Amino acid sequence: MTSNPTWVLKRFPEGMPGPDDFSLEHRDPPVAKPGELVVRTLWLSVDPYMRARLSPAKNYAAGQKIGEMMRGGGVGEVVASESPLFQPGDIIQADDFGWQPVTTVAAKTAIRLDPASAPVQTSLGCLGMPGLSAYFALLHVGRPKEGETVLISAASGAVGQIAGQIARIKGFDPVAVAGSDAKIDWCRSIGYRTGINHRTAGDLIEAIARACPSGVDVFMDNTAGPIHDAAMLNLNTFGRIVVVGTVALADRFDQPDIGPRFLRRILVARARIEGFLLDDFEAQYAEARSQLTRWYREGLLEAREDVAEGIEAAPHAFIRMLKGENFGKQLVKV
């Protein structure tokens, strides 16, 4: 029996997770119980929401316990099936892959992929959770009108890159905020009108004002932190803020986020701030997925991936994504 190197949570991170918060254990490959599949992991996804699971505090995602295997979205090939739904050789996507080369997945949570339709890892990116998040957060919560300025933070990230392109397709005016000039250049190439490198822009409030001369109508907030604050000060009357992620707080996860509040501004602008979780839109996944797939196959959606190689790289990929060092959707190719 070959070894199956498996990442487990060693301790709860304090602030920004580090490599020492995880340990690689050599386990035996798992065996499927009834209703389960044994899957050879091809791709793992690391996503901001996973930070919230690494905390003893109550949170929206089921928490991860110390000593437990790390889990997240993945794509793999079925090698053994204890379910009539799948056969060996099927390529599947599921949200609950272990961070290990061979893992088990509950058959009822798996989705069969058609490798001829799109590269299978797009099911973890533009055609998966990040793409669906971009679609619903922008169109169903932010609800921009034609020509309105849509400011998007983490604009080249998994969610932001799709949101920007949907905004372009729909005739909105997307403006990027990202952490390097290369990211901003790429954002322009996929349809953002312009962008702001928040690491070099100096006064972010002024930089957003220059990039958005008509103000910000919809702000898709993937980060929280100083970008949020600067966006609030450029918000138009009846502006909308969709809180999709708070990755800028990943380094002080269990501490209160202290800073300026904007209640007077919210009142005066009649702004609307609304939190977003993808799960609430499950009933409409199929419709959105088929729209995203259509755009993708028409060449209207470009998907940039940042690929770390090998199961050993999984924590590293997770941490660099939390730090914003990734460029595109962060994946691990196993």
Chain residues that interact with a copy of itself, rule: CB under 8 A: 52, 59-60, 221, 224, 228, 243-246, 249, 256-277, 280
Rounded CA separation 211/190 (Å): 17
* Rounded (5°) CA angle 310-312-315: 115
| Between 60 and 171, CB nearer to a copy of itself | 60
| Between 163 and 224, CB nearer to a copy of itself | 224
Rounded CA separation 244/226 (Å): 15
Query: Minimum Å distance from CB 91 to a copy of itself?
Result: 32
Phi, psi values for residue 119, rounded to 5°: -50, 135
| Between 6 and 222, CB nearer to a copy of itself | 222
Query: Minimum Å distance from CB 126 to a copy of itself?
Result: 22
Query: Which residue is listed with tokens 């992620």?
Result: 245
Rounded CA separation 30/2 (Å): 11
Rounded CA separation 232/215 (Å): 10
Rounded CA separation 180/327 (Å): 9
Query: Minimum Å distance from CB 248 to a copy of itself?
Result: 9
| Between 75 and 271, CB nearer to a copy of itself | 271
| Between 28 and 257, CB nearer to a copy of itself | 257
Query: Minimum Å distance from CB 288 to a copy of itself?
Result: 18
Query: Minimum Å distance from CB 60 to a copy of itself?
Result: 4
Rounded CA separation 96/61 (Å): 12
